[in-house]
Amino acid sequence: MGLKTLTVTVVATLLLTAAPAIASPPAFVLRDGVSEPVFSYDKAIRETAWVETGQDLDRDGRVDRVAADIIRPSEPVGRVPVIMDVSPYFEKIGRGNERQPKTYLPDGTPSQFPLFYDNYFVPRGYAVVLADVGGTNRSSGCFDDVASGNAVVNWLNGRAQAFRTPFGPERVRAGWANGSVGAIGKSQDGATAIGMAASGIDGLKTIVPIAGVSSYYEVHNSDGAYFGWAGGPGLYNERAEKLCQPFEADNARRAGTNGNFNEYWRGLDYVAKTGKVRASVFASMGFHDLNVNPIQFGPWWEALNAYGVPRKAWLHQAAHVDPFDLDRSRFVKTLHRWFDRWLLGVRNGVETEPAIRIEHTPDRWTDERRWPPATHSRTLWPSSEGGLGNRPASGAASLTDDPARGASQWVENPSQTSPERLVFAGEPVRADTRIAGTATLTVTARSDKPSARLGAVLVDYGPANARNTKFPALGIKNLSTRSCWGAGTAADTGCFLGTVADLTTVDKRILATGWADLGHHRSLWRGEPLEPGKAYTMTFRLSSLDHVVPAGHRLALVLGGTDADMFDPALPAPGARVTFELGGTSLSVPVASRD
């Protein structure tokens, strides 16, 4: 059979309930089950709407307006769905591997839309909207990313007002939109998409968060250990830089510096709000990401599992990398089918296929039905001889907190003694062993000071050829050639540098990390001073992981104090000598069951 082309009229209730009834339903063209590029990119409508958020965070006496740059088909196709990226990065950092910024013509009309979404999807009957978070680029207001994105969703569904200029009175309506929105983006943009979904906003049909944050407490703290407050994102426009100082100061005050979980952090805990999610989820995460810790993925993903949210994920061994730069052709095809399914209503079965595509070794991907896989918990205990075994051991071991050294140094030269860290290594594993999920560490420890920070690292000691993710490397490197994804113009070509795996030979790999403040052993909501010399027991999580420990390698637990790789050096240093009671200290790792 040859290729068949089918014009499909979209009348699905899924797409139309959020928008007023229309006289002529939209149409798109399918070929072999996917939407075809039949609309003009060159002639597409490019415009900006400034959308009211309903807030006045910059306190200028006017309702804040978010700048939403729009590109959509110019042909009379009826109402179309929207792919949206809400970001603070469009002006000062840019998006994607090449850090593309938004660009504009002299009259302010958008000319370059970063990334490939516009080039690829507008010809297929989608609109693409790139919205500036409040206070960034051309938006007024201050940094409230979820409110910024939700305001645009509301406008697209006729529930909010937008205007032709930043402060003018001329209104703009989204009569071209059918009300269905998919939010996509990496890092902060992905966090915004997760937060929007957690708000339960009507009209958001799917999200595609790439290395997104699901709980902001863990960005600035870990089990009571306060890393430091970065303050505002450093991305404000000149106007907001001045007007938003009180807003940022109030956020810092409410967040606190004592490591306590509080109402401020609860409001930014999207994992706890998973029950409100109405959108499907297509996520991506790198297990060696140093920008967004994988703990942001594991607990959130398991909550999505528990609530039965339609979901898919790409998981890899690179760092802070978009899957577009790992397996470009396969990712674009998957994303295309995902948006067709949830925004155009095409019954293509993508949601019934294996939910997980995962990389364990460079460029070798497998498909799996779920994550984490079926696992059993294996408990390992450190010994006074430096081992890590299957039975509790007696005795104690001590270290002295040195805030000048971090986890990347703790794991070096494991056979040598060092005062600021303890290394407990298991026997060489007899067969390849997969660890997948979120490990936990229980410690029973005494401090000679009223406070003590704890750091823990799970390490695979053994030779391997792996992606180079040693900071600032990301595990990929650019080629000199380009590939094009969709239509283009001179201002926005849709062509991007190719990438390949950046490989290196290593003798160890850090698999997971975790930190805690021993004074929060009783509750994350309130820390307490330690009684010097008294033993306290505390359990805390390490970062989520999925790693195969090859036969002959040794799995090790490395313990330290303040991690110089994580904590602001300006913070007071406890300088404690911490003694671990080995019989009350254990590591629980999720080991994949063998088929």
**Domain extents in the chain:** 5-368, 375-592
Burial 252-291 (b: 16+ CB within 10 A, else e): eeebbeebbbbebbeebbbbbbbeebebbbbbbbbbbbbe
Lowest model confidence (mean pLDDT) among 31-35, 379-383, 437-441, 483-487:
31-35
Euclidean distance between CA atoms 376 and 460, whole angstroms: 19
Residue 19 above 50 pLDDT? no
E-only strand ranges, 430-486: 433-437, 440-447, 453-467, 476-484
CA 568-573-578 angle, to 5 degrees, is: 120
Beta strands 177-186; 204-210: pairing state: parallel
Level-2 CATH architecture, domain 375-592: Sandwich (2.60)
Euclidean distance between CA atoms 49 and 68, whole angstroms: 5
The predicted model gives 455-464 an average pLDDT of 98
pLDDT tier for residue 5 given thresholds of 50, 70 and 90: very low
Q: Any idea which residue has 């957690």 for tokens?
A: 198
Q: Is the pTM of this model over 0.75?
A: yes
- Summarised one tens digit per residue, pLDDT across range 167-222 is 999 999 999 999 999 999 999 999 999 999 999 999 999 999 999 999 999 999 99
- The separation between CA 386 and the C-alpha centre of its own chain, rounded to angstroms, equals 36
Alpha helices in 217-307 (DSSP H): 217-220, 238-243, 245-255, 263-267, 298-307
pLDDT above 70 as % of the chain: 95
Joined together, the tokens standing for residue 444 give 């029973």
User: Which residues, including other chains, have CB under 8 Å from residue 135's CB and lie 6 or more apart?
Assistant: 57, 58, 88, 141, 142, 143, 236, 237, 239, 240, 243, 244
Euclidean distance between CA atoms 247 and 232, whole angstroms: 9
Contact assessment for residue 485 and residue 116, using Cβ atoms and an 8 Å cutoff: yes
Write out the catalytic residue numbers: 187, 289, 320
Predicted local distance difference test score (pLDDT) of residue 27: 62
Q: Any idea which residue has 């396969």 for tokens?
A: 330
pLDDT tier for residue 77 given thresholds of 50, 70 and 90: confident
Superfamily of chain region 5-368? Alpha/Beta hydrolase fold, catalytic domain (3.40.50.1820)
